[in-house]
Amino acid sequence: MSAPHGPGDTTERDRTDPLPPGSRVGNWEVTRLIGSGGWSTVYAARPARGHPGRPDVALKVMPTAGLAPRQARRIVESARREVELGRRAGHPRLISLLESFVLAEPGHPALRGAIVLVMERAAGSLRELIDAGLPETDRGRLIAGICEGLAHLHRSGWVHADLKPENVLLGADGTVRLSDFGLATELTGTHGYAPPLGTLDYFPPERWRAPLGELGVRVRPTADIWALGVVIHEVFTSGCSPFPGATPMARGAAVQEYGAGRAPLRMDHAIPPFWRELAADCLAPTHEARAPHTAESLLARITAHRRGPGAGTGRPGGRARAAVLATALCGIAGAALYADVPAPPGRAGPAPDTVRVYNAERACREDGGRDPGCSLGLAVDPALPYTADNVVATRVWHGDLLTADCRAPDGQPVVDEEDRRSTHWFRVRLPPGSRPSTAWLPAVRTRDRPTLPECP
């Protein structure tokens, strides 16, 4: 998905767009065009009149009218993938799918039968950040966020199959959200099958010679690892590919030469040694050589590097900048089921009417301080999406003891960074003088399970 950059980039389709600002789509009102691709257009939207209290969203509109049957089936299948993945694999590092529906627009024949995906609204993309000049202090944090999202996808049995900076979105708090799962593939055993589509610059060597079968092209999680290696190189080189060539096809030829052992891997020496080594492991020339470097193992290496001497960038103020960017939320809604998490062994639980805050990020548990980047948000309303628009001003930290007076078992589902999932929320009291006087803590943000009545 690409956004128009100015009048010179506006296409004829953009000028005759059937959904100008003010258009009503379901319960949403279009505010502007975000971007368009070959099969879909994405709009910014807000709740329409009569539907207040909901957050601003992004609408992904996928028209099917006038297409050949094979093309229409491809779009329907792409939408099905996104809905299925959103329903079954929600996570703080994946963009949330809020709802989906099919349009019936008698006044706009081109939109009749279009599929609409209502998604969490992001503040921007990694591509935009790279183009604008990505701060050195943010690079490791963003790559770690991508690894977290990939690790969850792969654990859940999915391959993204189209990882690139355009599909790495950033929340208002600066945190990573992987997006655009139209090519995401569910694994059946060690591999899955995807349509013969994607972005050439991120294809691993084996994809270029993969046979096209009845089910599509075979893909495995190592394809995402290869794409991650390309993204890491771009993050540290202002968007440059590790493979030479003036066009995607030329760069693809260089990838194939490297994969066949006829050319070495040449990465920019401006990349710091740790990240150059990490990217080189991601860009191992074969699936077999890449397989040991899972998203989880890469994330563990990044975490250890950032904690060690000279962690992060080695510059003072790097942690402070990350803290400024992380002042909204450390959790996000996702399709989920409730899962009880027992209290950690060896620690007596609090009294039945209290809950102790638990931060799933290990670095925040070990820090022991009150770093703003480790603070957690409390929701205003557990029935609304857990986003920056739905949190109170009061922040909490790992280990804080909160008084809880009741529970809501059927709130918005939330998934934490350790894949714990819950629809349960606890209503907690805020310090005297706070407005409002109570707020809501997701059950995944505590290990305690007090016996409390349901809230009225």
List pLDDT tens digits, range 284-306. Answer: 999 999 999 999 999 999 999 98
- pLDDT for 391: 82
Cis geometry, peptide bond prior to residue 431 (ω within 30 degrees of 0): no
pLDDT in tens, 324-338: 333 333 332 222 223
**Does the pLDDT of residue 240 top 80, yes or no?**
yes
Q: Length of the chain, please?
A: 456
Q: What is the arithmetic mean of pLDDT over 406-414?
A: 88
* Confidence category of residue 70, pLDDT binned at 50, 70, 90: confident
Tell me the CB-side half-sphere exposure of residue 448, using CA atoms within 13 A.
25
* Confidence category of residue 254, pLDDT binned at 50, 70, 90: very high
**60 annotated to bind ligand:** yes
Whether 7-120 and 124-325 share one fold: the answer is no
**Does the pLDDT of residue 260 top 60, yes or no?**
yes
Provide the CATH number for the domain formed by 124-325 in this structure: 1.10.510.10
The mean-pLDDT minimum among 28-37, 177-186, 263-272, 386-395 falls in 386-395
Task: List the end-to-end C-alpha distance of the chain, in Å, as a whole number.
Answer: 44
- pLDDT for 38: 66
- Token pair for residue 225? 């690892």
- Cα–Cα distance, 94 to 414 (Å, whole number): 12
Neighbour-count burial of 168, counting CB atoms closer than 10 A to its CB (0-12 exposed, 13-18 middle, 19+ buried): buried
pLDDT in tens, 14-38: 334 678 898 888 888 999 998 877 6
Give CA angle at 202 (172, 196), nearest 5°: 110
**Any idea which architecture 7-120 has in CATH?**
2-Layer Sandwich (3.30)
Q: Which amino acid is at 59?
A: L
- pLDDT for 17: 60
Domain range list for the chain: 7-120, 124-325, 332-445
pLDDT in tens, 343-379: 344 444 444 488 999 988 777 777 666 776 677 889 9
Residue 20: C-alpha distances to residues 29, 30, 32, 42, 109 (Å): 10, 7, 7, 12, 15
- Cα–Cα distance, 165 to 314 (Å, whole number): 25
**Does the pLDDT of residue 204 top 80, yes or no?**
yes
Q: Which amino acid is at 183?
A: L
Higher pLDDT, 436 or 81: 436
